[in-house]
Structure 1
């Protein structure tokens, strides 16, 4: 589950991680009030107004139809009105959203951290995620923080440092100090960095994050270490332990079909192809998608109905797949281990009759427990459903359907 920047920062504060303070706003009036409060509370010369969407590249992205970036500096109240007015309700297009962009419903009005002081400021990159190959968490960091970290990783990979941490405990103090040394920090900045990284790692583990990225991690002119931006992903499987975090989910940022699929406990991911697929088991689903590709089609989705497929889940899967106008055929590939194939076949028939006339070809391959009974049910149903026993048969039928 993805979180907005303002939500992630509030969670980090609970772990004593210093952040750039800000207020989330849904209206221009709220943004004006936030500006007044931040100006009086922190003595900010200006505020930064940031669009809140689940995508990166906001600073380089633009609002459709307007000369307005997704992140902008407001130096006075008039700037706040204009910038917030341009962003709120607009569609922000970034390198990660694609041309469709995303609707902006909130902005974060944040304090100025680029104030003058005795030392130089510094932008740093830092992220924590799981390295599956090593079975450890990895902290990646660089002195070259800011909006172009992808270019740094591509052009000068030697500037990206990594620290692997065993997932069974806290961040060892020697590694926290090593990070500070590699970033070239000294004195109070070094001490503050050690505390920051230690607390950030605690937040990563405590919140069951799958990814936590701070870019930029900012060293102020008076040597404070502050998270200016934050991207946080939470492991969906851990949300039962974090009902407060689960309540932060913003379904308006998610694909509507994926949200609907979740209501029926279907594992669904929308793709860009022309063949819808409904399968029980993630491994079989991946193999089915490969088979669709090899047969000349393109998978339109990943849909795993799980091991307890029945008429209700099959019908829900049908309805979700049929919402995609690009779909030219549907392939149902079920291996009857826990689930009986005849029950799935009856579910297909019931769903077909419930939904009504379905114009596109439906190919059903059922193997395993009661597969022969299932094929007989399909063949005698009188429906425009084609059955297959072998995977090669199903592949040929898919090929004909999309040709």
Structure 2
């Protein structure tokens, strides 16, 4: 099963048979933005606030009762390059000290700019935690719910898939299957079923209303009091092609954490996506660019980028495309694949 490649490696694990990176841009939200979106769709989340200073962090920890989670706000797509685990604090003073350290130095081991915002949320004591994602099975052309139980900070290697029809949404039968899987042998309580129904229905509405590609609840907690489920942390991505349909959503984009080359390329009508290899490529046309990346991978290479210079590329466009790639110190070779003639004069 080839699900959306934007599904976090934290859920699917390193052995998932995916290409290095999906050849498209997407919108990633910060955790506090995703949590706020869930709350608007009546999905249970802990109380929390976003802060920019250690003093404000102390104040929020005090407001929330003392026991809180401090989460540096780094876009989920960047977290492979910046360790940013949430930190538990018990007092306002601990909140102040932790926030000061994060805001002064950035997350431990980070090569990214310092963290500018911290999400302070109420701490819960769950009996168990799960990871749950609503995404797309691109091989079979249907949406799917992926569920895996967590063990501490690790995710169980066994991921259970629940495909469903986009036209039917979250049916009682689908809810029952997911609920039984997550509650085990014991019969699901009314509160656990009701809270899970709110979560799945809320995710589905966001998925369809907002053009979601991967809505992942990285920590879905089952509480000890009544067995209900609460979303502790999230990582959401959305289809970048939906920018015109979703102006309010895309206004949330944090361009300060976008890849600078992608922003620069977009100003010149070039679609550029940074990848993980060392072979740069310049191509005109998205389909040909994807085929070029696939061919490079098929013969054992690794692309440093996806680049679509467009069907009406000009001399200036091509100079800019080469300039962006040649500034990338990882690139050792540039592969040029231009479909010329009728659509693009190459002389």
Quickly name the TM-score band, shorter chain normalised: 0.7 to 0.9
For residues 289 and 307 of structure 2, the distance between their equivalents in structure 1, rounded to whole angstroms, comes to: 7
- Contact preservation (8 Å) 1:145, 1:216: no
Q: Give the deviation of 1:234 after TM superposition.
A: 0.7
Match of 2:12?
Answer: none
For residues 57 and 239 of structure 1, the distance between their equivalents in structure 2, rounded to whole angstroms, comes to: 21
Give the alignment of 1:6-85 within 5 angstroms: 6-39=32-65, 45-55=66-76, 70-85=85-100
- Structure 1, unaligned runs of 5 or more: 40-44, 63-68, 115-119, 346-373, 375-403
Match of 2:134?
Answer: 128
For residues 284 and 78 of structure 2, the distance between their equivalents in structure 1, rounded to whole angstroms, comes to: 37
Which of 139, 147, 153 does residue 147 from structure 1 map onto? 153
Match of 2:199?
Answer: 196
- Contact preservation (8 Å) 1:141, 1:161: yes
- Alpha-carbon distance change, 207 to 283 in structure 1, aligned in 2, over 3 angstroms: closer
Query: Greater shift after overlay, 139-148 or 23-32?
Result: 139-148
For residues 293 and 166 of structure 1, the distance between their equivalents in structure 2, rounded to whole angstroms, comes to: 32
- Alpha-carbon distance change, 146 to 262 in structure 1, aligned in 2, over 3 angstroms: farther
Give the alignment of 1:231-246 within 5 angstroms: 231-246=235-250
For residues 195 and 70 of structure 2, the distance between their equivalents in structure 1, rounded to whole angstroms, comes to: 26
Match of 2:307?
Answer: 303
- Alpha-carbon distance change, 37 to 327 in structure 1, aligned in 2, over 3 angstroms: same
Which of 116, 131, 136 does residue 105 from structure 1 map onto? 116
Match of 2:251?
Answer: 247
Q: Give the deviation of 1:129 after TM superposition.
A: 0.5
Question: What SS class does the counterpart of residue 244 from structure 2 fall into?
Answer: helix
2:143 corresponds to 1:137: yes
For residues 142 and 258 of structure 1, the distance between their equivalents in structure 2, rounded to whole angstroms, comes to: 33
- Contact preservation (8 Å) 2:52, 2:118: yes
Structure with max Cα Rg: 1
Give the alignment of 1:154-169 within 5 angstroms: 157=158, 160-169=159-168
Give the alignment of 1:331-346 within 5 angstroms: 331-336=335-340, 338-341=342-345, 345=346
Q: Deviations over 1:160-209 (max 9, x none)?
A: 32211112342112211221122113232222222322222222222211
- Contact preservation (8 Å) 1:18, 1:227: yes
Match of 1:171?
Answer: 170
- Alpha-carbon distance change, 192 to 327 in structure 1, aligned in 2, over 3 angstroms: closer
For residues 234 and 22 of structure 1, the distance between their equivalents in structure 2, rounded to whole angstroms, comes to: 23
For residues 89 and 318 of structure 2, the distance between their equivalents in structure 1, rounded to whole angstroms, comes to: 52
With CA pairs under 8 Å and 6+ residues apart, which has the higher RCO, 1 or 2? 2
Question: Aligned pair count?
Answer: 314
Question: What SS class does the counterpart of residue 29 from structure 1 fall into?
Answer: helix
For residues 268 and 229 of structure 2, the distance between their equivalents in structure 1, rounded to whole angstroms, comes to: 45
Q: Give the deviation of 1:216 after TM superposition.
A: 1.6
Q: Deviations over 1:196-226 (max 9, x none)?
A: 2222222222221100111221122232321
- Alpha-carbon distance change, 129 to 145 in structure 1, aligned in 2, over 3 angstroms: farther
For residues 163 and 183 of structure 1, the distance between their equivalents in structure 2, rounded to whole angstroms, comes to: 12
- Contact preservation (8 Å) 1:35, 1:77: yes
Give the alignment of 1:176-325 within 5 angstroms: 176-184=175-183, 185-223=188-226, 224-271=228-275, 275-289=279-293, 299-325=303-329
Point out the structure with the larger helix share. 1
- Contact preservation (8 Å) 2:281, 2:305: yes
Q: Deviations over 1:43-76 (max 9, x none)?
A: xx41110111123897xx75xxxxxx73211111
- Structure 2, unaligned runs of 5 or more: 1-26
Q: Give the deviation of 1:262 after TM superposition.
A: 1.6
Runs of 4+ deviating beyond 6 Å:
290-298
For residues 338 and 105 of structure 2, the distance between their equivalents in structure 1, rounded to whole angstroms, comes to: 44
